[in-house]
Amino acid sequence: MVGPVRPQFVLFGSSIVQLSFSNGGWGAILADVYARKADILLRGYYGWNSRRAVEVLDHVFPKDAATQPSLIITYFGGNDSMGPHPSGLGPHVPLNEYIEHMRKIAIHLKSLSDSTRLIFLTCPPVDEDRVSKNTSEFFSHLIRTNELCQKYSEACVKLCLELDVKVVDLFTAFQRRDNWTADCFTDGVHLSAEGSKIVVAEILKVLKEAEWQPSLHWKAMPTEFSEDSPYDLVAADGKTTLNPSEWTFHRAIQWD
Catalytic positions, written as ranges = 14, 187, 190
Cβ pair 122, 167 in contact under 8 A: yes
Concatenating the DSSP letter of every residue in 116-181 gives -EEEEEPPPP--HHHHHHH--TTSPPP---HHHHHHHHHHHHHHHHHHT-EEE-HHHHHHTSTTHH
**Long-range contacts, 171-176 (Cβ 8 Å, 24+):** 171/122, 171/123, 171/124, 171/125, 173/124, 173/198, 173/202, 174/124, 174/125, 174/198, 175/125
Does residue 222 have a cis peptide bond before it, meaning omega lies within 30 degrees of 0? no
End-to-end C-alpha distance for the chain, whole angstroms: 30
Q: Which contiguous run of DSSP H or E holds residue 11?
A: strand 8-13
**β-pair type (39-44, 166-168):** unpaired
% helix / strand / coil in the chain, to the nearest 5? 35, 10, 50
3-state secondary structure of 72: strand
Chain-centroid distance, C-alpha 113:
20
